[in-house]
Amino acid sequence: MQYSEMTAKMADGDGFIAALDQSGGSTPKALKGYGIEEGAWSNEEEMFGLIHEMRARIISSPAFTGEKVIGAILFERTMDGQVEGVPTPQALLAKGVVPFIKIDKGLEDEANGVQLMKPMPTLDALLARSKALGVFGTKERSVINSANAEGIAAVVKQQFEIGLQVLGHEMMPIIEPEVNIKSETRAECDTILRDEILKNLDALPEGKQVMLKLSLPVVPGTFDALVEHPKVLRVVALSGGFSRSEACVELAKNKGIIASFSRALLSDLRSQMSDAEFNAALAEAIDEIYQGSTQKAEAVPTA
pLDDT (mean) for 15-36 = 87
Give the pLDDT confidence of 140-162 residue by residue, as tens digits. Answer: 999 999 999 999 999 999 999 99
**CATH classification code of 103-238:** 3.20.20.70
Long-range pairs for 201-204: beta carbons < 8 A, 24 or more residues apart: 201/226, 201/229, 201/231, 201/232, 202/231, 203/160, 204/160, 204/164, 204/231
Q: How many CB atoms lie within 10 A of CB 187?
A: 14
**Confidence at residue 298, expressed as pLDDT on a 0 to 100 scale:** 72
What's CA 14's distance to the chain center, in Å?
16
pTM value is 0.95
Q: What is the pLDDT of residue 94?
A: 97
Q: Specify the 3-state DSSP secondary structure of 220.
A: coil
CATH of 15-101+240-296, picked from 3.10.20.740, 3.40.50.300, 3.40.50.720, 3.20.20.70, is 3.20.20.70
Side chain identity, residue 141: R
Quote the pLDDT of residue 299. Answer: 55
> Where in the sequence numbering do the catalytic residues fall?
176, 213
The domains of the chain are located at 15-101+240-296, 103-238
